[in-house]
Amino acid sequence: MILEQATLLVRAGQEQEFERDFKTASAYISAIDGYLSHSLHRCIEVSNQYLLLVEWTSLEAHEIGFRQSAQYLKWKELLHHYYDPFPQVFHYTTV
């Protein structure tokens, strides 16, 4: 299992719209082979900061299966304009 982590900084004042569109976008990521689960957490101290955690069966499931899919294009269209700056994504494995 691979854990993907991204800290998302959403443009101030657009948090409600982002959360609404994230719910829609969730259907696209969850349809990918190798997807296991995801969760989105809003920061208490910084109201426009979110933590996205996604569990994948493999790194390839995310990097190839999702990022090279039609679903990713829909995800990108719904969400990427909210980020400032664009988030770095990291992948973790259990030790």
For residue 68, what pLDDT is reported? 97
Torsion (CA) 95, 41, 11, 28 in degrees, nearest 10? 80
Where does the pLDDT of residue 57 fall: very low under 50, low under 70, confident under 90, or very high at 90 and above? very high
Domain coordinates of the chain in residue numbers? Answer: 2-93
Where does the pLDDT of residue 83 fall: very low under 50, low under 70, confident under 90, or very high at 90 and above? very high
Integer CA distances (angstroms), 88 to 5, 7, 16, 20, 42, in order: 9, 7, 22, 22, 17
pTM of the model: 0.95
What's the token pair of residue 34?
């190798």
Are 15 and 83 in contact by the 8 Å Cβ rule? The answer is: no
pLDDT tens column, 8-56: 999 999 999 999 999 999 999 999 999 999 999 999 999 999 999 999 9
Architecture category of domain 2-93 in CATH: 2-Layer Sandwich (3.30)
